[in-house]
Amino acid sequence: MVIVGAGFGGLTCARALKRAAVDVLLVDANNYHLFTPLLYQVASSLLDPSQIAQAVRSLIRPLKNCDFRLARVRGADFERKLLRTDAGDLAYDYLVLAAGSESNFFGNAEVEAHAIGLKELPDGLALRNWVLGCFEAAARASSDEERRRLLTFAVVGGGPTGVEYAGALQELTHLVLRKDYPRLDLSLARIVLIEGTGSLLGAFDPRLREAAARSLKRKDVEVWFDAMVATADQDGVALKDGRRLDARTVVWTAGVKASDLGAALGLPLSKGGRIRVDGLLNPAGHPEVFVIGDLAAYEQDGEPLPMLIPVAMQEARHAASVIRARVEGAIPRDFRYSDPGIMATIGRNSAVAQLGAIRLSGFPGWVFWLAVHLYNVVSLRSKLLVLIDWAWDYLFFDRPIRLIVRAREPRALAGARAAPRRRGGSSRS
């Protein structure tokens, strides 16, 4: 069988099939698994990428029936049970699609061209480079007007990612970079969180939403409510109500959409490009195909399940159980999601958590958030390194990963790609 995607859904499914009588091939366009809840900490110079990303091959070593293929899916032939990839066709008996999601700019080409997303590891690295570059440019700017624009950061989207990044960026600016730039007037710095509705963290209890807004205010993060972005350019964003914010940096966390894999495969789609599935997580007419995670559109009690990691992991385990049942000739059951709760941190000593009837905010919520995220970091090495960096930052107000590093293609490889292909000669290498 083939699993497309080595995120939380795909990796969980592969692990759940560890003792099943199937051979598993895990396929992904990247060779690493990313712990996305802490990506904003890479973008805010707190964590190193290696602490939240780990090579897939190292993670599947204990799975004797699992292998990995670095490839990008191009399509599928469902009649012949073939998956088309840029590394060749892959035959399957069962196919699990767990390709996840991507930033949703809602068709706004100007915003997409000028905003930085925060969904993938390259996004986090690019944003870290950009922010640090803005401080370097501000240090050599010739006027307060230019410095103010360089040090104004617009974060669009008041969900967990936007709230967490805004709080982390404020702490990076006022607790860490203040020491790096003693001659730079950081009273000119502004962090503005732009939310299109009347409250932050829309999925949370109203009391927790208010607690999060108060915490951001105490941290000097400006929050603009009922502010819908109309367009963006290199100098800032314009809102639909006529307001404008001059900002050199626009960070987009206002939504995600399903991977375009569903459209490429020609399967029935719902709103947001998600593939419609039944109770066994199969798209109509394809009992050998399973769709899980952000790519799956599954309704429970008349409502679509949210695009969250716990949903992906529970669907992954269920898909694995259905595959095992079919291999063994048993009758599988329909999927039912159990909500474990949601949480978000606003920075040092402040977070909100909603766990059934339990509501936590402030310091207790922050401690709970730390414990849960540290527990869920993939490897023991990463847990230790993350804990050390968190403790260092907490005690010394210092973030060690303040590096502007840009990947560059090796000259030999660039030259090989630029060189014209020779005609004739042997086809063998």
Residue 255 DSSP code: -
Structure token pair of residue 328: 């063994």
Can you spell out the DSSP letters for 140-209? H-SSHHHHHHHTEEEEE--SHHHHHHHHHHHHIIIIIIHHH-TTS-GGG-EEEEE-SSSSSSTTS-HHHH
Task: Decide if 259 contacts 100 (C-beta within 8 A).
Answer: yes
Q: Which of 120, 145, 164, 171 is catalytic?
A: 164
Task: Decide if 197 contacts 225 (C-beta within 8 A).
Answer: yes
Closest listed residue to residue 134, CA positions, set 181, 94, 67:
181
Q: What is the C-alpha separation between 20 and 223, in angstroms, rounded?
A: 50
3-state secondary structure (DSSP) of residue 351: strand
Query: On the CB side of 154, how many CA atoms lie within 13 Å of its CA?
Result: 30
Can you spell out the DSSP letters for 70-115? E--EEEEETTTTEEEETTEEEE-SSEEE---EEE--TT-HHHHHH-
Instruction: Give how far Cα 337 sits from Cα of 18, 299, 307, Å.
Output: 22, 10, 12
Q: What is the C-alpha separation between 310 and 261, in angstroms, rounded?
A: 21
Residue 164 bears catalytic tag: yes
Q: What is the C-alpha separation between 280 and 265, in angstroms, rounded?
A: 19
Q: CB neighbours of 188 closer than 8 A, spacing ≥ 6?
A: 138, 144, 147, 148, 151
**Positions marked active-site:** 164
